[in-house]
Structure 1
């Protein structure tokens, strides 16, 4: 339930009461004596879907916007009349005015926003380098990036240019700050006793997870945007924490920063693509869902302008997402190719060990070098194969070529094969 309190300017009490009565809502009137400008306070209990029609009726009646109209959440209402009030209004979304207020809260003061962003980026960077999933989740909860995305979308659909611009500015500056913070931290830590010498960040599982994004990341981002809008318009703020964890904006941004610190452009491109896809998808879904939910500017004269801005932003976001999706598609295909070739090599080596070309010989893969970029640069996969043979067993001079040909036939790919021979004695 909501309690709407209207501070009625002098001479307009009858107008306010007639308007409230026309909506069918109950109300109470209290005299206002603390300020000469107001003559009474009208308190009106209403369910959330009734707030917007009530405020719209007061606006159409000509109530001066300089008057105070306060909407507060009523934690508990003890009255048998409450059920009747709920029956008068359908729907579950909050009013436009409440939406704007909540969106403004999601785009906090710059000092608070940037402080939380730096802290969350430091936590995420440490979690990535430590390969600690729990630490990274903690960074996701602290990160404030989700709020400005929703605030920007709300600003567009209700024609609040200041809110929309603030949301966009906080998003762009926040992402840049997160990447720079992670890059600086990575550069400071690299080569110190806190990290192993010669550390390859791509071998860290938590980093590797964010530099191999697939098309599934797009569906995750779109779903997170839907959940974020639902939590906002239906007043379920706790869901935003889960959305922040699901969409994970800060960890890939921190990964991109580490890629800069380590001078690895592949890490920067793949992680950067992931964070941009997430952010843009949230903005796109928020814009579309808020408009479909029926949110519009307060003044009908502003409707055309808001719709024009909505169309232009949806177009820009859509084109950007399509381009980034092409990158995700390339990563998805490249990741599949590398995994498929390695799987075929392993399967064929197992078959060769089960039915060896020479008695007592066994095959094992000890290393496989085939990276994402190799798929597109034409670089040959390199498979290192350990061959166990009984002592004194002679192998043909072209044994390595025979192994390579079998593996190439199995994978359908040109390979470079390195054969390492060891003499093995087995006792049963």
Structure 2
């Protein structure tokens, strides 16, 4: 269930309440006249089944409530109510299959923000992975994958393509490219410092690395895994099952590939640097392609479901 908190101008409150009451899957409607001060208006609250949330939010935006008032949406973790149970039964489809496009755009917009924190996480993840590739330590590689924040911009770019949102697409692309560029540049400097401390060496890169050699040796499986991870990551976002994102993060070789490319470049190991770059590009392409196609399929299926229900 979702909880909606709306601030509506007094002259639009009746239209809003009518829309809420006519939307299948809503309950617990409450109206507090004159409660809002900034902006001035009435406070309207209701609960709605997740599978009916996108329809209701779309209707509210058509009424212009997002421009003249406010629409706030919260997830309800627990609702002990027979009316809520009935609303979920009446709502079409399954909650896990419903996509809240406004919420998805908002979350990916936030995750795609090019900030100091984002750059810091990307750089730290790349430096951790650099230590992992030199030491041939799979544990460090997995840790770096989990720390890397790159899936946010990738999901944002896929969402922007499906929703035709050029600003979100550019924002995500800028965060992705800048993040990797800065992280790799700093990791090159980090590698030189570690070499000066006699902790990194070209011999370590040339030595057999059974645990991490796959990073600079891309093959068909690299692209297949990226496709599967992109599908899983997108489904975890649209179904609000964010716990699956950890598994997605440690199944793709983006950050480790960037790290190996940076370390190899610092020691003039250009063959490894190119192989790692190819691995990175394959993973990025696979995730974006899979995420975009997954969202297209979800949008098409849900649109057909709504159209079928409307004609029934």
Is TM-score (shorter-chain normalized) higher than 0.5? yes
Q: Report the secondary structure of 2:11's partner residue.
A: coil
1:3 maps to what in 2? Answer: 3
Question: For 1:158-197, what aligned pairs fall within 5 Å after superposition?
Answer: 158-190=163-195, 192-195=197-200
Q: Does 1:90 align with 2:63?
A: no
2:67 maps to what in 1? Answer: 65
Change over 3 Å in CA distance of 1:270–1:109 after alignment to 2 = closer
Give the C-alpha shift of residue 124 in structure 1: 0.9
2:51 maps to what in 1? Answer: 49
Question: For 1:123-142, what aligned pairs fall within 5 Å after superposition?
Answer: 123-142=128-147
Aligned equivalents of 1:56, 1:36: Cα separation in 2: 23
Change over 3 Å in CA distance of 1:190–1:161 after alignment to 2 = same
Question: For 1:406-425, what aligned pairs fall within 5 Å after superposition?
Answer: none
- Indicate conservation of the 8 Å contact 1:129/1:201, yes or no: no
Q: Does 1:99 align with 2:104?
A: yes
Q: Report the secondary structure of 1:29's partner residue.
A: strand
Larger radius of gyration: 1
Structure 2 residue aligned with 1:28, among 18, 27, 30?
Answer: 30
Aligned equivalents of 1:280, 1:14: Cα separation in 2: 48
2:304 maps to what in 1? Answer: none
Q: Report the secondary structure of 2:46's partner residue.
A: strand
User: Relative to structure 2, which stretch is displaced further, 256-265 or 57-66?
Assistant: 57-66
Give the C-alpha shift of residue 276 in structure 1: 0.6
Q: Deviations over 1:356-390 (max 9, x none)?
A: xxxxxxxxxxxxxxxxxxxxxxxxxxxxxxxxxxx
- Indicate conservation of the 8 Å contact 1:29/1:43, yes or no: yes
- Indicate conservation of the 8 Å contact 2:215/2:253, yes or no: no
Q: Does 1:273 align with 2:278?
A: yes
Q: Does 1:263 align with 2:265?
A: no
Q: Report the secondary structure of 1:89's partner residue.
A: coil
Give the C-alpha shift of residue 282 in structure 1: 0.8
Q: TM-score, normalised by structure 2?
A: 0.88
Aligned equivalents of 2:115, 2:168: Cα separation in 1: 13
Structure 1 residue aligned with 2:239, among 228, 231, 234?
Answer: 234
Point out which structure has higher relative CO (alpha carbons under 8 A, 6+ apart): 2
Query: 1 or 2, which has the higher helix percentage?
Result: 2
In the alignment, structure 2 segments of 5+ residues that lack a partner are 301-312
Q: TM-score, normalised by structure 1?
A: 0.65
Aligned equivalents of 1:236, 1:122: Cα separation in 2: 29
Change over 3 Å in CA distance of 1:79–1:265 after alignment to 2 = same
Q: Does 1:218 align with 2:228?
A: no
Aligned equivalents of 1:19, 1:198: Cα separation in 2: 69
In the alignment, structure 1 segments of 5+ residues that lack a partner are 296-428
TM-align CA RMSD: 2.0
- Indicate conservation of the 8 Å contact 1:94/1:233, yes or no: yes
Q: Report the secondary structure of 2:73's partner residue.
A: strand
